[in-house]
Amino acid sequence: MKIALVSDAWAPQVNGVVRTLQTTVATLRGRGHEIETITPDGFRTIACPTYPEIRLALGCNRAVADRLDRAAPDAVHIATEGSLGWAARKWCLAHGRPFTTSFHTRFPDYVAMRTGLPAAWFWPILERFHRPAHAIMVATETLSAELAAHGLPQTQRWSRGVDLALFTPGNAPHPKLAALKGPIQLYVGRVAVEKNIEAFLASRVPGTKVVVGDGPARAMLARRFPDAVFFGALHGVELASVYAGADVFVFPSLTDTFGLVMIEALASGVPVAAFPVPGPLDVIGGMGRGAGGRAGAQIGALRDDLDAAIMAALSTDRSACAAEGRRYSWDACTDQFYAALAKPDESLARAA
């Protein structure tokens, strides 16, 4: 099948959304599907206000329409709500073409944190964007319920995957970790205000706090917390080796819709400590035994007191963590994506 995937989030951005999209595209191509990607690298762009890593395409309506006309896709998936996404949405509606979207990021919450304005002011924009979609792909049941409360009931599950050959308990720990005082407490992800990393770095649990990733808050946090170790962005084998050397993975975010890094940590045999909020609740579970308690044994701990969560997670069974992490494969993730697409014989069910 010929599939057009439109996304304002793409390389060189480094985040879970981009990894998910790129891996899904690669897996689909490996299965023989033809994928047309429409991404910012093919356009003149400007930096997104307050989020400079995201590049927004300028004056892209005509160019996106031309690309879609030439591609003549059997299915269109619009991954993000940026300028490329709106242009693709416009083309689909003008041509009476069904399309799917995905909801990766709570941008109303992010913008509210950066501006001090109420998140409720920004939700109507997202509601309008997604309302005509044949299906909205979401990672968790919690997010599905949240969107239904905003008048968007047409959600379909699209979970996340892990490279199980790369993230494994058998990896040798990163050599830089050997000289650090344990327990090693690890954060991986974008270093920005919306990730609530300060809550992790302010923890009083003894040991060493390690931050892997980059972003606009890195310099400020490094000044405020000189005892923390900032590795910068790492990839591939080097990233996997840092996971392997950690004693606990700390996920302090209060706003993420899923948290791909949590399942990378679990697959590496590392327990997760987090707040009891959507994302961690969907992956680690309220009792720390996985979604629906399916893991059986403890794979982490969720507490309102992050210090208590870290201490509790340190005593969990690493083999149970690895077993739970192995439940997440990119093949299963891609199966869900493909099943949710609006196929050629399906008509547009909703008006803008």
- With 50 as the cut, is the pLDDT of residue 2 above it? yes
Mean pLDDT, rounded, of the chain: 92
User: Can you give the C-alpha Rg of the chain in angstroms?
Assistant: 20
Q: Which domains can be identified in the chain, with CATH numbers? A: 2-161+331-340 (3.40.50.2000), 175-328 (3.40.50.2000)
**Percent of the chain's residues with pLDDT above 90:** 80
Q: CA 10 to CA 146: how far, in whole Å? A: 26
Structure tokens at 41: 């690298």
Q: Which residues of 183-214 are buried (b: 16+ CB within 10 A; e: fewer)?
A: bbbbbbbbbbbbbbbeebbebebebbbbbbbb
DSSP 8-state code for residue 106: -
Strand partners, 274: 251, 302
Task: State the residue for tokens 């948290």.
Answer: 259
pLDDT for 321-339, tens place per residue? Answer: 999 999 999 999 999 999 9
pLDDT computed for residue 348 by the predictor: 44
- The amino acid that residue 48 corresponds to is C
How far apart (Å, rounded) are the C-alpha atoms in residues 22 and 20? 6
**Residues 210-221: tens digit of each pLDDT:** 999 999 999 999
Q: What is the largest CA-CA distance in the chain?
A: 61
pLDDT, tens digit, 9 for 90 and up, residues 272-327: 999 999 999 999 999 999 987 777 899 999 999 999 999 999 999 899 999 999 99
114: amino acid identity, one letter: R
Instruction: Provide mean pLDDT across the span 4-14.
Output: 91
Provide the token pair at 189: 């992800």
Residue 126 to residue 117: CA distance in whole angstroms: 16
pLDDT at 53: 72
Mean pLDDT for 192-213 is 96
User: Is 293 exposed, middle or buried (CB count within 10 Å of its CB: 0-12, 13-18, 19+)?
Assistant: exposed
